[in-house]
Amino acid sequence: MKEIRSKINLYLEDSYSIRINNLEESIILTNKALALCEGKEFDDLKAKAYSQLSLYYMITGKYDESFNLSQKSIKLYEELHDDKGVADAKYNLASFYYKTNNFQMGVVYLIDALIVYKNLNDYHNISKCEKSLGTVYDFTGDEQKAIQSYKNAIKAAKKINDLNLESNAYNNLSGIYIKNNQVEAAWTIILKSIEIKQKTKDTRGLGFAIYGRGKIHFAQKNYTEAIADFIEAIAIHTEMGEKLGLGMAYTKLAKLYFEIEDIALAKKYASLGLEVCNSFNISIIKIKLLHLFYTIYKAENNLSKTLEFLEFYLFEKESVLNAQNFKVIENYDLLVRMQAMQKEAEFQKEKAIILAKSNKAEETARIRQEFLSTMSHEIRTPLNAITTVATMLNENAKPEDKVLVNSLKFSSNHLMQIVNNILDYTKLDLGKMTLDLKSSNIKFFLDNFWNAYNFQAKEKGIKFKLKLDEALFDYYYIDETKITQILGNLVNNSLKFTDIGAIKLDVKVVHQTETHDTVAFKVSDTGIGIEKENLEKVFESFSQLKSGITRKKDGAGLGLSITKRLIELHGSKIEIQSIIGKGSAFTFELKLKKSKNTEQNNQTNFENDINGVKVLLVEDNAINAMIALKLLSKWGMVTDHAKDGLEATEKSQNTKYDYILMDIHMPVLDGYQAAKNIRTLPNFNKETPIFGLTADIAAKDNEEYNFYFNDFLLKPLEIEKLKGALNSL
């Protein structure tokens, strides 16, 4: 047995040492080691083999195999109580997740592994984890955290004099320096990286370093040198079987050819890159390629192709919000706490590790919130432009292209609905959701709701019926946004599973008093129905039931879960009845307070008072600024524009405004500091109402600055909400 263990260890050590220049042989040696691991006495070596093989498959783009092997490795290491082994396997899983666009789970597993490595002073793996964290932060737009992580990786590598790990971080850090026009700094460290890779004979790493040098040449418009570097990187990655690096090089080369207006070669290399990404599910690169194709066809004035690839791009963006992340993390925090309590009871000596795990849970929660904030901003900001551009295209599109434009608008709205569901789910989960009750004409509100969804029903060839009780009072205090979301999720669910027949919204009064009515809402359909054993499961987060017939339905699986929780927020509950093959019915009751009709007078006063009002719009995005300025001018407002917080501060010192509409995330000076300046420095606008216009869901929760604002409005900006906010003052 001792001899066999020695042989297995030798295979595994040799396979790991040659991975940098002969990955194929590494896989062969690891499989030989696995073949010898028969019996429970070899479980530790089997787990190690699974973990190493998972790493090799991940590098070569075989993500499914890599994922399965990591899971097997984690299971064995957990049975062996080997924390270091579990951390190694989780590091591999993290790579799988973030390379397939599941950034949030990637961060969670990287933090898991990093905590263990830090407790063990394992600087080799600390460096690897920090470098990977930097990659995730870089891709999601948080450059400061990315730079810090890369520097941490370099620091850890230097502690153990690991030149390869040091140079790996240099490659990524140079990319950020290029983005910030720090070309000299980027050039210095990329040359150092290439020198190290040549010295250590790390062929695979050399491919990435040469690619990094090509990016610098590209930034300096040294196109001939850049092309040569990208071609050399492609050759190395092809030889080494490195799929991610290959996709990156194809993408950058395609962008270069597009910049020098060689469209044929741009399409050629973009197609090659897309082929690699599709074959190996490399979503992290695929998004960039789809956007590149959209840009190419837009430049060619090919409307059909432009819209087609814009839809592909939106769809892939939507996959970034893979809602399964949130349920895993929700359960993950609970699991960490349970494990910590068990270990404390069993092993007092592990108290330090348990405390570290507690800190890890807090760190994970913080990272999740920051991630949501970043992704919310990154997705909502372009959506603000996309929805408007789609409307503009529709005005001038040919009849045969209107179908594509309408499809684009539907996809944009669908993406926004998924974003809103996920963000609202998080708010509900954190207990931060409250009702915003305002006087509303309920019949007018429900008629508008019916109109919005009747078009979708007609497109599907089914009827959408609305039946309103004559006993309904005209005006109630309601939260229109949340009731729209409740009814919208229910109707959308019926639309998904109803192919023939009709959907019906029935609203009636079931109990009346002098001040309140209890109103029952019922959404029923003639769809495929839900099995009895699944009736409660439909309200679970991320549920995607296959009901009656095996079929794939889109969405994040959050709609009905959020609906249930929003109804509970109103102090009520939802009930469901369903028969397979005949349909389903969802019913809930809301106790609504009656109100007087103040809407007409308020609207009249608003329209009279708004004309000639002077507004300062602070917005760094040119397209969003153009849209907002046109809208405000249409209302008769006099608008002034500042492109950042510093300019807004200066303008407020010279001019008195009636309102200030302030973006939050801006260069030079952000909206928070600008609002503080206006409220505290000598100027004409210390008392002027300031509204935060932002795509960041966390902006309102910034306790240090939020009291400088009168309110916050989320992008894409809803016209009625802006009008309502201004009207309220």
pLDDT, tens only, 528-563? 888 887 777 777 644 444 443 333 444 444 668 888
Q: What local confidence, expressed as pLDDT, does residue 470 receive?
A: 92
Helix (H) or strand (E) holding 452, with range, is helix 442-460
- The more confidently predicted of residues 108 and 265 is 265
Q: What local confidence, expressed as pLDDT, does residue 421 receive?
A: 61
- The more confidently predicted of residues 405 and 292 is 292
pLDDT band at 135 (very low <50, low <70, confident <90, very high): confident
pLDDT band at 416 (very low <50, low <70, confident <90, very high): low
State the Rg of the chain over Cα.
29
Alpha carbons within 13 A on the beta-carbon side of 695: 21
User: pLDDT tens digits for 462-500?
Assistant: 999 999 999 999 999 998 878 888 898 899 889 888 999
Query: How do the domains of the chain map onto residue ranges?
Result: 1-107, 307-432, 438-594, 599-727
Q: What local confidence, expressed as pLDDT, does residue 550 receive?
A: 33
- Backbone φ and ψ of 575, nearest 5°: -120, 155
- The more confidently predicted of residues 677 and 546 is 677
Distance CA 718, CA 486 (A): 18
Q: What local confidence, expressed as pLDDT, does residue 322 receive?
A: 44
Q: What local confidence, expressed as pLDDT, does residue 101 receive?
A: 64
Q: What local confidence, expressed as pLDDT, does residue 621 receive?
A: 79
CB atoms within 10 A of CB 482: 21
Distance CA 99, CA 701 (A): 31
User: Structure pTM?
Assistant: 0.45
Lowest mean pLDDT, pick from 144-158, 248-262, 364-378, 673-687 = 364-378
Most confident range, picked from 326-335, 418-427, 607-616, 705-714? 705-714
Lowest mean pLDDT, pick from 461-465, 505-509, 627-631 = 627-631
Placement of tokens 């399409």 in the chain: 267
Do 1-107 and 599-727 have matching folds? no
Q: What local confidence, expressed as pLDDT, does residue 652 receive?
A: 94
CB 664 within 8 Å of CB 619? no
Across the range 138-151, mean pLDDT stands at 84
Q: Average pLDDT over the chain, rounded to whole? A: 81
DSSP three-state, residue 641: strand
**Helix and strand tally (H, E) in the chain?**
27, 12
| Architecture of the 599-727 domain | 3-Layer(aba) Sandwich (3.40)
Across the range 54-80, mean pLDDT stands at 85
Q: What local confidence, expressed as pLDDT, does residue 620 receive?
A: 86
pLDDT band at 31 (very low <50, low <70, confident <90, very high): very high
* pLDDT at 722 > cutoff 90: no
Q: What local confidence, expressed as pLDDT, does residue 352 receive?
A: 53
Two structure tokens written together for 510: 């079931």
* pLDDT at 341 > cutoff 90: no
Chain CA centroid to CA 159, Å: 35
CATH level 3 topology of 1-107:
1.25.40
- The more confidently predicted of residues 216 and 92 is 216
Most confident range, picked from 54-63, 248-257, 691-700? 248-257
* pLDDT at 343 > cutoff 50: no
Q: What local confidence, expressed as pLDDT, does residue 651 receive?
A: 94
Q: What local confidence, expressed as pLDDT, does residue 349 receive?
A: 47
Q: What local confidence, expressed as pLDDT, does residue 347 receive?
A: 46
User: pLDDT tens digits for 211-263?
Assistant: 999 999 999 999 999 999 999 999 999 998 888 899 999 999 999 999 999 99
- The more confidently predicted of residues 432 and 119 is 119
Q: What local confidence, expressed as pLDDT, does residue 379 receive?
A: 61
Distance CA 572, CA 558 (A): 19
Placement of tokens 């490195």 in the chain: 242
Q: What local confidence, expressed as pLDDT, does residue 260 receive?
A: 94
- Backbone φ and ψ of 544, nearest 5°: -135, 80
* pLDDT at 366 > cutoff 70: no
Lowest mean pLDDT, pick from 105-109, 162-166, 193-197, 367-371 = 367-371
Contacts of 337 by beta carbon, 8 Å cutoff, 6+ apart: 358, 361
Which of 138, 140, 135, 132 has its CA nearest to residue 112?
Answer: 132
Lowest mean pLDDT, pick from 58-72, 468-482, 540-554, 570-584 = 540-554
DSSP three-state, residue 90: helix
Distance CA 70, CA 466 (A): 52
* pLDDT at 362 > cutoff 60: no
* pLDDT at 624 > cutoff 50: yes
Q: Which CATH superfamily is domain 438-594 in?
A: Histidine kinase-like ATPase, C-terminal domain (3.30.565.10)
Q: What local confidence, expressed as pLDDT, does residue 324 receive?
A: 37
Lowest mean pLDDT, pick from 47-51, 94-98, 321-325, 356-360 = 321-325
Q: What local confidence, expressed as pLDDT, does residue 363 receive?
A: 59
pLDDT band at 94 (very low <50, low <70, confident <90, very high): confident
Helix (H) or strand (E) holding 280, with range, is helix 263-280
Tell me the CA distances in angstroms from 581 to 239, 499, 526, 574, one per residue in order.
55, 11, 8, 22
- Per cent of the chain over pLDDT 70 is 77
β pairing state of 614-618 and 638-642? parallel
- Backbone φ and ψ of 337, nearest 5°: -65, -40
Across the range 295-299, mean pLDDT stands at 91
Across the range 687-692, mean pLDDT stands at 93
Distance CA 600, CA 727 (A): 12
Lowest mean pLDDT, pick from 4-8, 532-536, 668-672 = 532-536
- If you ran DSSP here, which 8-state letter would residue 613 be given? -
Across the range 697-711, mean pLDDT stands at 79
